Structure 1
Amino acid sequence: MKIFKQTMLVKSGVRFIAMSGLLLMGTSVQAQFGRPAPQQLDPVVEQIVKEANENSQLEKLAFELLDVVGPRLVGTPGMTKANEWAVKTFESWGIAAENQQFGEWKGWERGISHIDMTYPRVKTLAGTQLAWSPSTKGKAVEGEVIILPDFKDSSAFQAWLPQVKGKYVMVSMYQPTGRPDHNWNEFARPETFEKMKAERDELLKAYNDNIRATGLSANSLPGKLEDAGALGVLSSFWSREFGANKIFGARTQKVPSVDISLEDYGILYRLAKNGVTPKVRIETSSKDLGNVPSFNTIAQIKGSEKPDEYVILSAHLDSWEGGSGATDNGTGTIAMMEVARVLKKILPNPKRTILIGLWGSEEQGLNGSRAFVLDNPAVVEKTQAVFNLDNGTGRVANIDGSGFVHAYDFIGRWLNEVPREITKDIKTTFPGSPGGGGSDHASFVAAGVPAFMLSSLSWGYFTNTWHTNLDTYDKLVFDDLRYNVILAAVMTYMAAQEDELVDRERRVLPEGNGQGWPSIRQPRRTGVGY
């Protein structure tokens, strides 16, 4: 293994530490060494900052994408509308754009749905169809609700299975509390909090043991229930935050699958558990559209001196269906579109081509970006850098070197030109480690392209908005997004104008046990559900 001596770069209010084989987190220079010298901004950078702050289009883009287009599940009309909207928007700015097909997916269109409890009292339930769920074809189908009993083994499950015919079956764990842990931690006595957690852990263990006893997994159970004649499957995937449920895809092919809020799921469960058999009536009118094409939206500002070399702005356009895909990844999409708009106005003839990739089907396994990497070897070979945004609404707080030995050098040069107001709190890890998945930069890293996740502050991302029904416009923090636009725009400007392509030398990583540099993976170019 080649050894590199430790290097420290003090640039733009960020402390960079790099050492081969180690992941070292920097802290801000201001915190470590006091106030830095006044910064003289490049005139182009000054124009970028002025345009991004004074003529921002972020609010307009967010409204159009999140409120008008809405959620962008692969295979749905919403995703098609988003692709078409993105192309039209780019073209209105004088940026060439097109939708490039990379595969197809099961087509599905959400319709109007009603989920009501009709016994022992009438109550409209808070819930939604899961993605790609079969429908009741617009008919209201009423039935009793039952829960899974305790099973000794798979034989006991098989003996019980005929009882599901003509009934709705609840398949999720019952939650003993609808209060998130931070609420308990703030107000409960320590012993009360610990008692609740112990009870919850016990319930979770019992639930998992019971699923295993059936001989099935939680994912395969719904299919077995529908084959046995169940009217539908009721679930509740609580996100451990007030009012938030994760909304993923259906595991049924013939009967509806609906997710119900923790609160209403609890009502049904307690009624059924205590012998007061509830009834629900479900009516859905979603449509199966057959296989439909899947696209990436690709736009570019053509380079003037090195048109066949690229800097790529990366974000995925698709989303899940729970909310409107605001922080995952509407924020990344509109920020990178805004970066393109600003650069087209301020830097209409960059040295290298600036390519904007709004990827499709990221949520099903980075399919759009993986397909792009395989389908465009010439672009991959001469890409200077990829900057990826995909983790919420907060300002960028961390940049990892993705395992490239010299990342501390060129990232340092580019960040040095960003206003210190933006970079002063950014932490870096160099050379870092290559990401094997998680977001679209990983598709490029696997191919040896310097690709970097611009990681944002959480703002409660994983519990509040990530794949939940609460991922909506009102969660956006536009001041932070403007910071991200300036950061990405300046780094893209610097990368595009640099004289030569950067050094792509990779860290030498230990082999075995799933380690080593990640390999290029094939995308799913056709699929159903997950």
Structure 2
Amino acid sequence: MTRSFSGVLVAGLLLSSSLVSAQVKNPVVDSIIKEATENSQLEPMAHELLDVIGPRLVGSPQMLQASDWAIEKYKGWGIAARRENWGEWRGWQRGVSHIDMVHPRVKSLEGMQLAWSPGTKSKGVTAETIILDDVADSVAFLKWLPSVKGKFVLISMNQPTGRPDYNWQEFATKESFEKMKTERTAQTEAWRQRIAKTGHTARTLPVALEKAGAAGVVMSNWSSGFGVNKIFSAYTKKIPAVDIALEDYGMLYRLTQSGHKPKISVRADAKETGVAKAFNTIAEIKGTEKPNEYVLLSAHFDSWDGGSGATDNGTGTLVMMEAMRILKKVYPNPKRTILVGHWGSEEQGLNGSRAFVEDHPEIVQNLQALFNQDNGTGRVANISGQGFLHAYDYINRWLLPVPSSIKESIQTTFPGTPGGGGSDHASFVAAGAPAFSLSSLSWSYGTYTWHTNRDTYDKVVFDDVRSNAILTAILAYMASEDPAKTPREKSVLPVNARTGEPMKWPEQRSPTRKGGLD
């Protein structure tokens, strides 16, 4: 069931005795709010993390630099902090990227190399472009393959429009909009078939082109908004793989298709740095009465590196750091131990949090609650019970002293269903521990900042992040003070509509502890 902390909910759920208790002044809660509003450290921390250090790709020097920065911050606040190694990753450092069209005219192109892409020689690579051919089958593909030698191969569909759907919906005629969508759907399916007929997938196709002697692989992973592309990883080991913005990619594609034989020059100065440590960064405020029971604040520290990892997950990181700073100042002697986990390699499969669950069963078994934030800069709007039968009781109780201005927009769903993935709380839910996602308002997250080249400082909405820091600090305080240990009974999960079988609780999974080293 979905509930809103509106007047209706308060009247229906939080009866008179609860209302009376909620109105009692709580000096710790008052101090949390005062510190967060009058002495916020969010803006300077965001500048240091997002502008100075920048993106935090697992295995990169920036990830280590960010961990050092966070540890020093915590120590400066009087909070013990440490780095916990849990694996190894392919070390890689991005350098200068420069992509230019040099024929039939000269134009600098908007684009960048993909993470872990091989670099080029100092003068770069200049070559003609060729479009992935629409072959009949894998046999025909093998016959065509020699033609890619010495060329940059365009392997993404040429988008029929660079305008997002909301822009079409606002200005186009209904008939024009529907026509565009129909044509785009057909074109997308045709391109999917084009790749499938090669006998390869999006992952293995670049490798086949590399083995055939291609000069490089060029793609455009458009994110369906003005000026945004998703920037992920390369699968090549010897030739550069680059992503080019929709506008410039479309121009290259059309020039290639029309026989103008465009040439591009790619300079990509990447450096392989050997085997790097994969780690989590942990900080701790020791409990006084129940030090072996834990409240855990959670946000992943790593990011993709198309932008600076601002909303995925710089904002979640800042929320948890600010909450810990505030708690140490106004609640320095918590009943239970309050931990914060800044996880590594979430982006490659929740690896840091899965390693922590696997390596620290004593914490998982005695976890009072985990609060995770990882879907952008917006204020928290949803909290699910994650399938825990009694979550409605203690979460509602912990939310009582939260200011109405924050609480009124939060919808709670109880008992909810357990998260099977998506972010780090799922690693703990799979182990049967009460872990909850503080899910935030979108702010066009999926299109404009999630894994894109535009995920930068200027997209942070600090009023919302400040609200989330207050909420998190209050929830951590309330969970720490609660006389009762949270029960772990699981609800009966609903029937899967597709299979007709009852849903199953997610299984605990082991992390990848050696990434990109094969």
How high is the TM-score relative to the length of structure 2?
A: 0.96
CA distance in structure 2 between the partners assigned to 1:312 and 1:27 by the alignment: 25
Q: Quote the residue 2:61 is aligned against.
A: 77
Query: Quick one: which of 85, 100, 107 aligns to 1:123?
Result: 107
Structure 1 residue 30 and structure 2 residue 41: aligned? no
SS in 2 for 1:363: coil
1:351-366 aligned within 5 A: 351-366=335-350
- Matching of residues 128-167 of structure 1 within 5 Å: 128-167=112-151
- Cα distance between partner residues in 2 of 1:210 and 1:381: 50
What is the CA–CA distance in structure 1 between the aligned matches of 2:517 and 2:477, rounded to whole Å?
39
What does residue 290 of structure 1 align with?
274
Residues matched between the structures, number: 507
Q: Which amino acid aligns with 1:132?
A: W
Equivalent residues in 2 for 1:82-101, closer than 5 Å: 82-101=66-85
SS at match of 2:4: coil
1:274 aligned onto 2:268: no
- Return 129-138 or 254-263, whichever deviates more: 129-138
Say if 1:388 and 1:453, in contact at 8 Å, map to a contact too.
yes
CA 1:429–1:34 in structure 2 vs 1: closer, same or farther (change >3 Å)? closer
Q: Which amino acid aligns with 1:274?
A: S
Match of 2:507 in 1: 519
Give 1:373's aligned residue: 357
Distance 2:200 2:325 in 1: 51
Whether 2:197 is the aligned partner of 1:213: answer yes
Alignment of 1:201 onto 2:185: yes
**Is the CA contact 2:223–2:229 (under 8 Å) kept in the aligned structure 1?**
yes
Structure 1 residues 432 and 409: alpha-carbon distance in aligned structure 2, compared to 1, 3 A threshold: same
CA contact (8 A) 1:41 1:419 kept: no
Instruction: Report the more deviating stretch, 52-61 or 28-37.
Output: 28-37
Distance (Å, rounded) in 1 between the aligned partners of 2:78 and 2:251: 55
Contact 2:3 2:9 in 1 (8 A): no
SS in 2 for 1:522: coil
SS in 2 for 1:362: coil
Instruction: Please list the CA deviations of residues 465-512 of structure 1 after superposition, one character each: whole Å capped at 9, or x if unmatched.
Output: 000000000000011111111111111001001113111111133698
Letter in 1 for 2:4: T
CA spacing shift, 1:107–1:459, aligned 2, 3 Å: same
| Cα contact 2:344–2:352 (8 A) shared by 1 | yes
Alignment of 1:316-465 (within 5 A): 316-465=300-449
Residues 303-345 of structure 1: per-residue CA shift (max 9 Å, x gap): 0111111000000000001100000000000110000000000
How far apart, CA to CA, are the structure 2 residues paired with 1:396 and 1:245? Answer: 26
How far off its partner does 1:529 sit? 8.6
CA separation of 1:422/1:40 partners in 2, compared to 1, >3 Å: closer, same or farther?
Answer: farther
Q: What one-letter code is carried by the residue in structure 1 that aligns with 2:41?
A: Q
| Alpha-carbon distance in structure 1 between the residues aligned to 2:440 and 2:342 | 19
Query: Within 2, Cα distance between the matches of 1:475 and 1:350?
Result: 34
Structure 2: how far apart are the matches of 1:310 and 1:417? 21
Which residue matches 1:9?
Answer: none
After TM superposition, give the deviation of residue 25 of structure 1 in Å.
Answer: 0.8
Contact residue 132 and residue 529 of structure 1 kept, 8 A: no
8 A contact 1:178–1:262 mirrored in 2: yes
Aligned match of 1:44: 28
Deviation sequence 1:275-306 (CA, Å, 0-9, x none): 11100011111111121101100000000111
Query: Tell me, what secondary structure is at the counterpart of 1:453?
Result: strand
> 1:88-117: CA deviations, max 9, x gaps?
111110000000000010000001121000
SS of match in other structure, 2:514: coil
**Alpha-carbon separation, structure 2, partners of 1:65 and 1:425:** 29
User: CA–CA distance in 1 between the matches of 2:395 and 2:382?
Assistant: 12
Q: Which moved more, 1:30-39 or 1:80-89?
A: 30-39
Q: Is the 8 A contact 1:250 1:529 kept in 2?
A: no
Residue pairs, 1:446-525, within 5 angstroms: 446-509=430-493, 515-525=503-513
Equivalent residue number for residue 18 of structure 1:
none
Q: Distance in 1 between matches of 2:386 and 2:247?
A: 42
**Alpha-carbon contact 2:255-2:262 (below 8 Å) kept:** yes
Contact kept? 2:286, 2:336, Cα under 8 Å:
yes
Secondary structure at the residue paired with 1:223? helix
| Amino acid corresponding to residue 266 of structure 2 in structure 1 | I
Kindly state the Cα deviation for residue 33 of structure 1 after the two structures are TM-superposed.
7.4
**Structure 1 residues 114-162: Cα deviation after superposition (integer angstroms, max 9, x where no partner):** 1000000000000001000001132321100000122111111111100
* Contact kept in structure 2, 1:385 and 1:495, CA below 8 Å: yes
Task: Give the unaligned 5+ runs of structure 1.
Answer: 1-23
- 1:223 pairs with 182, 192, 207, which one? 207
Gap regions ≥5 residues in structure 2? none
Aligned residue for 1:67? 51
Kindly indicate whether the alpha-carbon contact (under 8 Å) linking 1:133 and 1:249 is maintained by their aligned counterparts in 2: yes
* 2:378–2:443 CA contact under 8 A, matched in 1: yes
TM-superposed CA distance for 1:393, in Å, is: 0.4
- Tell me if the contact between 1:373 and 1:444 (Cα under 8 Å) persists in the aligned partners: yes
Q: Residue type of the partner of 2:516?
A: V
Question: Residue by residue, what CA displacement relative to the aligned partner does 1:208-260 show, whole Å, maximum 9, x if unpaired?
Answer: 11111111112210000010000000000000000000000001111000000
Deviates more, 1:294-303 or 1:499-508: 499-508
Q: Which of 245, 257, 261 lines up with 1:261 in the alignment? A: 245
Q: Indicate conservation of the 8 Å contact 2:494/2:502, yes or no.
A: no
Among 94, 100, 110, which residue is 1:110 paired with?
94
Counterpart of 1:217 in structure 2: which amino acid?
A: T
Q: Percent identity?
A: 61
Is 2:218 the partner of 1:234?
yes
Given the two structures, how large is their TM-score scaled by the length of structure 1? 0.93
Greater mean alpha carbon deviation, residues 283-292 or residues 173-182: 283-292
For the residues of structure 1 that align with 2:184 and 2:398, how far apart are their CA atoms?
49
**Which amino acid letter does the alignment assign opposite residue 29 of structure 1?**
S
- Whole-Å Cα distance in 1 between the matches of residues 479 and 2 of structure 2? 23
